[in-house]
């Protein structure tokens, strides 16, 4: 029995619908196990721009820092699409990641046997199933390095280049080591296999990435590890996804590889994520999908990604593994009984339900 303070940021679009679903499931878990989840609902994203003029106020960030954990829906939408980059709703995500020092992004990509027809891959590529944990570095690398524009000088033939834009990939040993350790620790508790993805044949930052990897690997003799260049990793992921266990990689490569891994499992509505920082700092849990303006407010959103994100929160932030397992089993049970939101209703004989009923069907197994 415990009391846990959760900062809930529903955000925009379907974010509000799926976080409501996740909190209902958390309440069912609380009832069963005698825990108390205390929610503080906060504005971030487009709704915060409307209310306060910025996507994330310092007060909201402070509230998040004071919480035990953050549960986020999704931010963004067409209403705010014409704002300049730094003023857009998505700015809230970067500020939350930076402000909470969330350097490790965990994205499981699991192929549920009940949904295997959703995968764009052939059966022969899926024979070993898919159960991959992607660990993406989240606060360094290309997305946080120096960037800008400058006069580009001249081309070899003397013609003017016009302006030149640049972005910088920089990683320190400390930044690499802490994320690689997360990867090895996870692999140790799973199938004991770690794949490190880089571009060490070209990038100096990737060569340092490998050196640090080698060093840390010595502390984990029980974990088999291998390296892939990112282009090869992208190919092998679609050819033999069942051979991967934990993949650890940089911010940009992780952004791309984790979307690829998610895609081959079928539906974006089933993909949760966790972003973790230093011990003692709150983690942030959110579905991988966005605010889906095309289906917002229509009771069509698949709540499973948000519910699974809440399960990750229980496991990683609160150490409640049994409770997390129960939520994951409850999702499987609802799928087993044929319930499907429209995004995963591929077969004729499934039972098509909306966000609210899917949530109820998941909760039925948490008694």
Coil vs helix vs strand at 310: helix
- β partners of residue 276: 104
How many other C-beta atoms are found inside a 10 Å radius of the C-beta of residue 257?
A: 26
Q: Which one, 83 or 203, has the nearer CB to ligand NAD?
A: 83
Least CB distance from residue 291 to ligand NAD, whole Å? 4
Q: Which of 131, 133, 277, 252 is nearest to 195 (CA)?
A: 133
> Does an H or E element contain 276, and which?
strand 272-276
Least CB distance from residue 12 to ligand NAD, whole Å? 7
Which candidate in 199, 245, 339, 343 is catalytic? 199
Q: Which residue ranges make up the site for ligand NAD (CB under 6 A)?
A: 14, 18, 74-77, 90, 93, 268-269, 286, 289-295, 301-302, 305, 343
Q: Which of 92, 99, 96 is nearest to 51 (CA)?
A: 92
Q: Which one, 93 or 121, has the nearer CB to ligand NAD?
A: 93
d(C-alpha 104, C-alpha 60), whole Å: 22
Residues 6+ apart with CB under 8 A from 58: none
171 in active site: no
Least CB distance from residue 31 to ligand NAD, whole Å? 25
Radius of gyration for the alpha carbons in the chain, expressed in angstroms and rounded: 21
Return the structure tokens found at 299: 């009771």
Which candidate in 27, 68, 131, 259 is catalytic? 259
259 in active site: yes
Q: Which one, 183 or 303, has the nearer CB to ligand NAD?
A: 303
Least CB distance from residue 88 to ligand NAD, whole Å? 8
Q: Which one, 119 or 206, has the nearer CB to ligand NAD?
A: 119
Q: Which one, 136 or 199, has the nearer CB to ligand NAD?
A: 136
Task: Determine contact, residues 25/307, Cβ cutoff 8 Å.
Answer: yes
| Strands 104-110 vs 272-276: parallel, antiparallel or unpaired | antiparallel
245 in active site: no
Task: For residue 280, give the DSSP letter.
Answer: T
Q: Which one, 134 or 176, has the nearer CB to ligand NAD?
A: 134
Residues 6+ apart with CB under 8 A from 15: 9, 45, 72, 73, 74, 75, 291
Least CB distance from residue 90 to ligand NAD, whole Å? 5
Least CB distance from residue 126 to ligand NAD, whole Å? 22
Torsion of CA 134, 138, 140, 144, to 10 degrees: 130
231 in active site: yes
Which candidate in 24, 39, 143, 188 is catalytic? 143
Which candidate in 167, 231, 243, 294 is catalytic? 231
Backbone angles phi, psi at 146, to 5 degrees: -60, 140
Return the structure tokens found at 66: 């004071």
Catalytic residues: 143, 199, 231, 255, 259
């Amino acid at each position: 029995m415990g009391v846990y303070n959760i900062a809930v940021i529903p955000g925009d679009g379907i974010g509000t619908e799926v976080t409501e679903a996740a909190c209902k499931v958390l309440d069912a878990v609380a009832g069963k196990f005698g825990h108390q989840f205390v929610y503080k609902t906060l504005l971030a994203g487009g709704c915060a721009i409307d209310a306060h003029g910025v996507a994330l106020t310092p007060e909201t960030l402070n509230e998040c820092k004071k919480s035990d954990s953050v549960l986020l829906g999704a931010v963004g939408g067409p209403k705010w699409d014409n704002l300049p980059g730094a003023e857009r709703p998505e700015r809230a995500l970067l500020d939350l990641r930076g402000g909470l020092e969330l350097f490790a992004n965990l994205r499981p990509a699991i192929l549920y046997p009940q949904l295997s027809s959703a995968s764009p891959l052939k059966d022969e590529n899926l024979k070993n199933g898919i159960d991959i944990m992607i660990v993406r570095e989240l606060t360094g690398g290309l997305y946080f390095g120096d960037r800008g524009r400058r006069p580009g000088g001249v081309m070899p033939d003397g013609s003017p280049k016009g302006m030149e834009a640049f972005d910088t990939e920089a990683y320190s040993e400390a930044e690499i080591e802490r994320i690689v350790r997360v990867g090895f620790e996870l692999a140790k508790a799973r199938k004991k296999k770690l794949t490190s993805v880089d571009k060490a044949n070209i990038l100096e930052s990737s060569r340092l990435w490998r050196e640090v990897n080698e060093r840390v690997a010595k502390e984990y003799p029980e974990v088999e590890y291998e390296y892939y260049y990112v282009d090869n990793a992208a190919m092998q992921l679609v050819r033999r996804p069942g051979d991967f266990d934990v993949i650890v990689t940089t911010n940009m490569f992780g952004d791309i590889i984790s979307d690829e891994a998610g895609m081959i499992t079928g539906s974006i509505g089933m993909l949760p994520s966790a972003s973790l920082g230093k011990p003692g700092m709150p983690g942030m849990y959110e579905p991988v999908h966005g605010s889906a303006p095309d289906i917002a407010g229509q009771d069509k959103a698949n709540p499973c990604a948000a519910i699974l994100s809440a399960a990750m929160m229980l496991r990683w932030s609160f150490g409640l593994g049994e409770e997390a397992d129960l939520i994951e089993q409850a999702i499987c049970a609802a799928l087993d009984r044929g319930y499907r939101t429209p995004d995963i209703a591929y077969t004729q004989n499934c039972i098509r339900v909306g966000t609210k009923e899917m949530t109820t069907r998941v909760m039925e197994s948490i008694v």
